[in-house]
Amino acid sequence: MGLAKRIIPCLDVDGGRVVKGVQFVDIRDAGDPVEVARRYDEQGADEITFLDITASHEDRDTMVHVVEEVASEVFIPLTVGGGIRVLEDIRTMLNAGADKVAINTAAVHNPEFVRQAAQRFGSQCIVVAIDAKQVSVEGEPLRWEIFTHGGRKPTGLDAVEWARKMVDCGAGEILLTSMDRDGTKAGFDLALTRAICDAVSVPVIASGGVGNLDHLADGVTEGHADAVLAASIFHFGEFTIEEAKRHMAARGIEMRL
Amino acid sequence: MSSVALIDYGMGNLHSVAKAIEHAASAGTRVTVTADPAEVARADRVVFPGVGAIRDCIGGMQTLGLDEAVRRAAESRPLLAVCVGMQALMDFSEENDGTSCLGIIPGRVLAFESHMPAPVPGASLKIPHMGWNQVHHVSDHYMWRDIAQDSRFYFVHSYYVEPAGADVIAASTAYPVPFTSAIARDNVFAVQFHPEKSQHDGLQLYANFLAWNI
């Protein structure tokens, strides 16, 4: 009895539409974000995360409207990531109805931005998104580095050290994505997940690689994650959130059913 | 027509709280988001949500004269305090190197970090306490109408309330040991969790507040 582990469906939004992850060759339209969010809320999602993968400024405004509309009828926590670069971006999203924002690249360019954001808005609404990739070769102790630009650009930053530093700067939560696993449906990088979860004192969301319901449960039991995030397994009706929660509960994980 | 004042001391976004109350309200209820003490004084019911750090909250309230407005509401009309709003009702908080609060309910606000044990030896307690946790009703209160015992509500906080008297405890939640997650005294009700982020049960709690007759 106590705090439940969370399932967080993630909506990649491009130009006002939900799209399947960018890593896939065949990008399929997964619908209107407001409708998709409503459906996940009905299925019992514990939170919803929107990742704005749009490039242009006009489409950014579209994201603000999406958040406003969802926040008016979906009463669970909402996180918005993608393109959060200055304090004003955070204010805009919080005013639109987001509860948390996820900062990614901007944190890598300027860690002080995370500190300023946490001071201004409170740690509870600052999520730092970490995209990590394994850099150790076989036979070496496992090591992961932070990558930006969708996993293409190495930064030389050690993932575990970086996670600790972000928490010191005031991050209230870490959204950890394995760039090796993202889009593969092969399951989370459990060694990476466990290394980060055990290293920091804030909740960690595991992301990248979910292909079946056991992967979600493994993220908690073996990866020590506080929450698990997935996109494609939910978008096309393969599994409902409710099925995922029941499966995790059957594996002995405390869930909100 | 009945009216609800939602206190806005300028520290954060009250969009969700306002929408949730509107969602739970009947057609005859007027919901106003306000920083004006006179508006708060006129309202039939008052909701005091808290966001941000406690020192900013108390400071912002004092600057706008809202601290007195809340004290007066606490004497006479249904008052619902949420999250930092609940903490602000107490005497004192450990946050921001120690902050004097409104002193409406005797008690203190403590940091999880310095007062709670590890969940299992060797592991650290994740702070903030973030997510859906069970709310165990200690008293049979109108505010719990149509809300099942041990239902889950959404929490996000690093400090928790320790009231001086156990008689005001309306609910408790374990993280990892039980702390006070709701307080009730006469016309005052306060919750540490966020009803506006707690889906059906959260909306039910707001509906109960709007129908609560003292």
pLDDT higher than threshold 70 for residue A90: yes
pLDDT higher than threshold 60 for residue A21: no
Q: Provide the whole-model pTM.
A: 0.95
Which chain B residues in 170-209 lie under 8 Å from chain A, judged by CB atoms?
Answer: 174-176, 196-199, 202-203
Amino acid at B107: G
- Under 8 Å between Cβ of A2 and A42: no
d(CA B71, CA B88): 11
Contact criterion met (CB < 8 Å) for A201 and B154: no
Burial B15-50 (b: 16+ CB within 10 A, else e): bbbbbbbeebbeeebebbbbbbbebbeebebbbbbb
- Residue B186 belongs to domain spanning: 2-211
- Of the residues A14, A41, A46, A131, which is catalytic? A131
- Note the pLDDT of residue A120: 87
pLDDT higher than threshold 70 for residue B12: no
Kindly report the nearest CA distance between residue B12 and chain A, in angstroms: 8
**3-state DSSP call for residue B6?**
strand
pLDDT higher than threshold 50 for residue A24: no
Task: Compute the average pLDDT of residues A64-72.
Answer: 94
d(CA B47, CA B59): 18
**The two three-digit tokens of residue B136, written as one number:** 């165990």
Provide residues of A within 8 Å CB-CB of chain B.
Answer: 1-6, 41, 46, 68, 71-73, 75-77, 94-97, 99, 121-124, 172-173, 201-203, 226-227, 256
Instruction: Tell which residue, B29, B37, B28, B30, has the closest CA to residue B7.
Output: B37
- Note the pLDDT of residue A25: 47
Contact criterion met (CB < 8 Å) for A72 and B19: yes
- Note the pLDDT of residue B15: 83
Interchain contact B130–A (C-beta under 8 A) = yes
For residue A27, what pLDDT band results from cuts at 50, 70 and 90?
low
CATH number at residue B14: 3.40.50.880
Per-residue pLDDT tens for B168-193?
999 999 999 999 999 999 999 999 99
Instruction: Tell which residue, A56, A188, A50, has the closest CA to residue A129.
Output: A50
pLDDT higher than threshold 70 for residue B17: yes
Q: What are phi and psi of A88, to 5 degrees?
A: -60, -35
pLDDT higher than threshold 70 for residue A153: yes
Interchain contact B129–A (C-beta under 8 A) = yes
**Domain tally for chain B?**
1
- Note the pLDDT of residue B9: 85
Contacts of A124 in chain B (CB under 8 A): 128, 130, 156-158
Contacts of A6 in chain B (CB under 8 A): 131-132
d(CA B19, CA A97): 10
pLDDT higher than threshold 50 for residue B23: yes
Is A46 an active-site residue?
no
Give residues with Cβ within 8 angstroms of B80, minimum separation 6.
B45, B46, B47, B48, B189, B190, B191, B209
Per-residue pLDDT tens for A157-208?
999 999 999 999 999 999 999 999 998 999 999 999 999 999 999 999 999 9
- Pick the range with the lowest mean pLDDT from A100-104, A172-176, B6-10: B6-10
Per-residue pLDDT tens for B144-162?
999 999 999 999 999 999 9
Is A131 an active-site residue?
yes
**Structure ipTM:** 0.94
**The two three-digit tokens of residue B139, written as one number:** 């008293």
Task: Compute the average pLDDT of residues A7-23.
Answer: 83
- Note the pLDDT of residue A22: 44
Instruction: Tell which residue, A200, A223, A240, A235, has the closest CA to residue B130.
Output: A200
Contact criterion met (CB < 8 Å) for A256 and B130: no
Kindly report the nearest CA distance between residue B14 and chain A, in angstroms: 8
Contacts of B127 in chain A (CB under 8 A): 201-202
Percent of chain A with pLDDT over 70: 95
Kindly report the nearest CA distance between residue B155 and chain A, in angstroms: 9
* A56: Cα within 13 Å, side-chain hemisphere: 6
d(CA A196, CA A175): 10
Q: From the CB of residue A68, how many other CB atoms can be counted at a distance below 10 Å?
A: 16
- Pick the range with the lowest mean pLDDT from A68-82, A200-214, B42-56: B42-56
Per-residue pLDDT tens for B24-53?
998 889 999 999 999 999 999 999 997 788
- Pick the range with the lowest mean pLDDT from A28-32, A108-112, B45-49: A28-32
Interchain contact B19–A (C-beta under 8 A) = yes
Report how far apart, in Å, the C-alpha atoms of A186 and of each of A51, A98, A227, A247, B96 are: 22, 31, 18, 18, 45
Contact criterion met (CB < 8 Å) for A77 and B154: yes
